[in-house]
Amino acid sequence: MKKLALSVVAGALLVSAAFADSYTIDPNHTYPNFRINHLGFTTIYGRFGATEGKIEYDPAGQKGSVEITIDATSVDTGYQKRDDHLRSPDFLNVAEFPEITFKSTAVKFDGDKPSSITGDLTILGVSKSVTLEVTSANCAEHPFTKKWTCGFDANTAIKRSDFGINYAIPGIGDDMELLFGVEAIIDG
Amino acid sequence: METLLTRPEIQSAAAPLLVALAVGLILRAFGRPWPLLGAVVGFLATAWLINGLQFTPLTGARKIIVIAAAAGVVGVLADVMPRLRARPVWLALFSAGAALWLIWKVLARREGVDLMVVGAPAVAYVMWLTLCLDFGRRAEIPTLAAGLALALGTGAVSILSASALLGQLAFGLGAAIGGVFLLVVFWKDSVAGAVFTVPVGILAGLIGYAGYVFAKVPWYALAVLAIVPLAAHIPLPKAWPRIVRAAVHTLLGVIVSAVAVGVVWWLMEDSGGY
């Protein structure tokens, strides 16, 4: 009887390992940020305030996937006039391209934690493969909601000209860093 | 040289003016109205310097460039067929098609009244400017003055309303019109022709409306700019020298454009850079 119970538990563990858990991104704790040089003087920081997406995550099986959709109109650098300009055809052209998306194609693990996420970043309808370096990742029961929650921080560097955003280069830097802070709550 | 060609004053002023002037001088041998084709060629020079030959993804600004080339061809066809029946209807249909194609991505996400609120004014604005310029084509000086004032007003309003790209395209159009205007002022036997009125009317309309839909150009600035062709066509004594009439017709148009620019400027909370 004891052997039977153990084999049932072992079987259940194997089945759960074969299927990744599904998570929904928490928009209140997920912010894609960016930083870019301004005229060689300083670094301007900004972020997108509205994000949605799904994560599939299986640390035991070292598998995972990420899909994030960013509302391009939610760009916020702390100055309305600059944000209006960023929404215009000079930069993000949000009237025609209201969404920025990232869809992972491969997730690398270091032990049971992701170390990098490679995927297609689409801005202005142009898709380029980028690799996000994961600087931290953690899963635990949320202390307030008591739901299983996972989060990670990741960043990458892109050239905005690769996506057709050519305005005011080099005055406003071509190189920009993207920094993702993502939190996602398990479905169900 | 490459650095020089990236400067806005070259892309949107010197280059289109010189290209338009050169094309106008070359085409002068073919008689009227062909030298005025220089206006759209000058604009395409600006577009090439700003955008290159990249057309993917096909953004609104890139559609404007494609439409400019198509409008030039339509203008030529309209001029080689002077007895074309229902000419205003064909030009209106072309203008409407261009306006709807420009904002198609935006229209595709809207429905019902919301769709009409964005689509109908686009058609009306582009059609109005194109037909206004075309109806006045036999009065070449007021028509060119109207095109110049419209382009400059549209450029200034666009830049103030958060799109340097659209502003540069409009100023490029203005400089190109300036190039052919120089020829017209000193060339007595000329008419504007559809080679001028169709591309210039459509481009001024499309750039202005793109500024409204894709940037922050207020609708009332476009409403004021729509009056420019009427103001520039206020009759002046024929006895006045052509150069004086050109200056006064342009001034009349620019005054109205300046009202549109002034309203936008006045309503801005902060006119400084960042």
Q: Please count the other Cβ atoms lying within 10 Å of the Cβ belonging to residue B169.
A: 33
Instruction: Give A131's pLDDT tier (boundaries 50, 70, 90).
Output: very high
Taking the model in full, what pTM does it have? 0.89
Chain A residues within 8 A of B217 when measuring between CB atoms? none
Helix (H, G, I), strand (E, B) or coil at B57: coil
The rounded distance, in Å, linking the Cα atoms of A156 and A164 is 18
Determine, for residues B60 and A124 on separate chains, whether the beta-carbon distance falls below 8 Å: no
**With respect to CATH, is domain A21-186 assigned 2.40.128.110?**
yes
pLDDT for A2 equals 54
Residue A98 has pLDDT above 60, yes or no: yes
Determine, for residues B215 and A89 on separate chains, whether the beta-carbon distance falls below 8 Å: yes
Pick from B102, B206, B106: which is nearest to B151 by CA? B206
Query: What is the arithmetic mean of pLDDT over B39-48?
Result: 97
Instruction: Give B162's pLDDT tier (boundaries 50, 70, 90).
Output: confident
For the ranges B4-8, B113-117, B144-148, the one whose mean pLDDT is highest? B144-148
Residues of B with CB under 8 A from a CB of A: 54, 57, 59-61, 105-106, 109, 162-166, 210, 213-216, 269-270, 274
What does the domain layout of chain A look like in residue ranges? 21-186
Least confident of A105-119, B67-81, B100-114, B260-274: B260-274
Residue A9 has pLDDT above 60, yes or no: no
Q: Please identify among residues 86-105 of chain A the ones whose CB lies closer than 8 Å to any CB of chain B.
A: 87-90, 93, 95-98
Q: Which among B164, B214, B274 is the nearest to A95, CB-wise?
A: B214
Q: Which among B109, B163, B274 is the nearest to A89, CB-wise?
A: B163
Quote the minimal CA–CA distance from B115 to chain A in Å.
14
ipTM score of complex: 0.86
Quote the minimal CA–CA distance from A6 to chain B in Å.
56
Between helix B194-214 and helix B60-80 the angle, nearest 10°, is 160
Residue B222 has pLDDT above 90, yes or no: yes
What radius of gyration do chain A's Cα atoms show? 19
Helix (H, G, I), strand (E, B) or coil at A51: strand
List, in sequence order, every residue forming a beta bridge with B84; answer none if it has no partner.
none
